[in-house]
Amino acid sequence: MTYTAEPTAESTTAPTSGHTPGREELDDGSRSADLTLRIVQRTIMRADQELDIRPLYISGVSSFSAGESTSRQSGAEDAADATDVSSSTPGAETNDPAEAMGGFGSITGNTGATVKSERRLTFGTYFNAFPASYWRRWTTAESVRLVMRVSGQGTIIVYRSTAKGHVQRADSAVVNSSGLSTIEFELSLKPFIDGGWYWFDIEAGDEAMTLQDAVWAVETDKTTSGTLSIGITTVNRQQFCVDQLLKLAEQPAVLAIIDQILVVDQGTQKVTDHELYPQAAASLGAKLRVIEQGNLGGSGGFSRSMDEVTAKGDADYVLLLDDDVVCEPEGILRAVAFADLAKRPTLVGGQMFSLYDRSVLHAFGETVAKYRWFWGAAPHTVHGHNFARHSLRSTHWLHRRIDVDYNGWWMCLIPTQVVRELGLSVPMFIKWDDAEFGLRAAEAGYPTVTLPGVAVWHVPWHEKDDTIDWQAYFHRRNRIIAALLHSPYERGGRLIRESFETQVKHLLSMQYGPAEMGLMAIEDILEGPQRMHRDVLKRLPELRELRKRYDDSTSETDLDKFPKARRRKPPRKGKEPTAPRGRLGRAKTMAVGAARQVLPVRELAKRNPEASVAHVDLKWWLLSQFDSALVSSADGTAASWYKRHPEQFRDLLRRSIAIHTRLAKEWPELAEQYKAALPELAAPKTWHQTFEESMKKDASPSEEYTPSGAAAPGGDPTTSEGAVAGKESVTSS
């Protein structure tokens, strides 16, 4: 790389210690001849940026505060720190999106920011701060160089933070230049072993100051970027998918390192039929390839991408992207640079913002709680952090390096070397496929890093409840299979117990459909791993048929189609049920709810629901009080009439006890079976047969699920979910 300083005769710079002006000094011979600076992160400044996401990039500073004192005793723990990891110290940033730049400066074109006189802008933001601790831990870099081109009058201040969230001034430089000057800061990565960031502020003097551009670079002999292919799995989301392709087509720097973009279309509403697809195809040219296959879920779609990329052999990485995301393009370049310079082959994941509330970070990092064997937010992180309210600088927990077990496949960069060694996804259809692959990679010595500053905006999952629709089967089955493959605990720790508790809660909630699917999931597991590829092809339509038998799976969008909610008696003393407290309280409430199952259903409850329950109040202990209830859906579009069926309850409970007892007894043998079958389950050769089978128009009929000894369920047919594609086509553009 070559940079040229362009100061005029009148320009001056007055750096403090550790600061070197002038880009020409990059080639002064002071470092090894075989090392060259490589840009790993560019500062993002866009004139057309919308107000709600501006706090993620740049912010005005209305007053100066260095945050909490750095003199706090090491190892001492504040009471707030001990109880609430979301605690934050009020920072200097103006966090109101509408005020983030107003009165402080402006963005000039696509590559510049001007600070008004006697004002300050900070780049200590999610996308523009440098995640030093991640580079310190996972890459070969020992220092980072901040290189800036500026003009005008003012001061550049570089800050660093510690893992505790303490802020320290690292360096500064005074600028007085009527033309462009290049300013450099050499910054050590040594003190970032547990956490911390670098960032800079710009404070204008008597005159305005302009930042033309700024980059973070490291010395390396790996100066050529690795190449990647992008794999997008889609089912009936034409608009999302085409928008993503059009955005990629506008990014020449990203396109320069892309070998191909694979769209695996598994739906009935084809991406190629969208009115804007020809425009996307023309812009991307030969890099775009659309593959149509049957609906094999995320595991089948992403396995197809991984297989195609490794078979072609021209890309170093495959980047998996969901179809319903909006990607920050600079994040792709950052992920590849990080993976290129990692100490060992590493999966690099993106974090997830809400597509609906775009300054809210939903997933900072994901881990699996090994004893419970349940996925979730990594320890010391907060779900749903809003950067418009609490800045990076003022939020302590954001400064600690967070290590993860896996990254969601909404955005995950995987080295093709890892795919060749480990194989493709396990045929799970959806749920736990990304977690299982990350755990499998870690066991083979390949870590996953969820890298701050690399992110997508994704449809948030809190607007749906996929634990009670057809996906309940995959939640239960795949969680147990992943534990059979990777749990370090005998019989999966608490997993079997929690699975049984989930069954009981479904039954007390009159959710007989999800309870039946939970039993189906365990029955399939007990049958053995050999049926997994069969089920990735056929279980979805079978689940849709099964759900048609149950009242709780029948929904209406018009509430007036249901009878009005009525009770025979009002609540005693006007008190509604409250949540049980503690284990004893929960056990008592469960026992009372179970005892009610010997009582006949009240006649009025057969004609009218006894209550209307909003989805936010959908709790087992509440529903267990009723003989029937009208329950709204998570997305607010429909409602279902739950009805208590004592015979179904007793039948499902009896079978649940029996099958969980059997699962516990056979766990060791099952674990051996699934571990032995894993290489074949994930093998490209096995997947090739499944890909071909999914394309057959006259595939063998699905089996009907008729559990032995089950009580006949009631309910009206419900609308089906999902889609299964039925024609074979490979389109290259």
* Side-by-side strand order, sheet with 628-632: 555-556, 639-643, 628-632, 612-613
Strands 325-327 and 448-458: antiparallel
Q: Which of 456, 455, 452 is nearest to 137 (CA)?
A: 452
Contact 178, 87 (CB under 8 A): no
**Is residue 316 annotated as part of the catalytic site, yes or no?**
no
Q: Which of 720, 697, 706 is nearest to 545 (CA)?
A: 720
Q: Which of 154, 146, 147, 149 is nearest to 209 (CA)?
A: 154
Q: Which two tokens stand for residue 155?
A: 């001061």
**CA separation for the pair 293, 690 (Å, rounded):** 10
Q: Which two tokens stand for residue 218?
A: 């490291």
**CA separation for the pair 274, 276 (Å, rounded):** 6
**CA separation for the pair 729, 533 (Å, rounded):** 21
Per the rule left: phi > 0, alpha: psi between -120 and 50, beta: everything else, 519 is: alpha
**CA separation for the pair 715, 642 (Å, rounded):** 10
Q: Which of 650, 667, 681 is nearest to 495 (CA)?
A: 667
Strands 228-234 and 258-265: parallel
Contact 654, 661 (CB under 8 A): no
Query: Within 13 Å, how many C-alpha atoms sit on residue 649's CB side?
Result: 23
**CA separation for the pair 64, 66 (Å, rounded):** 7
**CA separation for the pair 345, 414 (Å, rounded):** 9
Q: Which of 470, 478, 468, 479 is nearest to 374 (CA)?
A: 479
Q: Which residues lie across from 234 on neighbouring strands?
A: 265
Contact 78, 166 (CB under 8 A): no
**CA separation for the pair 360, 142 (Å, rounded):** 32
Residue 428 makes CB contacts below 8 A (sequence gap 6+) with: 297, 299, 436, 474, 477, 478, 481, 532, 536
**CA separation for the pair 452, 47 (Å, rounded):** 23
Contact 257, 250 (CB under 8 A): no
Contact 85, 382 (CB under 8 A): yes
For 528-546, letters b (16+ CB in 10 Å) and e give ebeebbbbbbbbbbbbbeb
Residue holding tokens 């039954």?
Answer: 507
**CA separation for the pair 453, 333 (Å, rounded):** 11
**CA separation for the pair 694, 684 (Å, rounded):** 15
Q: Which of 265, 324, 434, 552 is catalytic?
A: 434
Please report the DSSP string for 111-142 in residue order.
S-EEEPTT-EEE--STTTSB-HHHHHHHBS-S
**CA separation for the pair 529, 518 (Å, rounded):** 17
Residues identified as active-site: 434
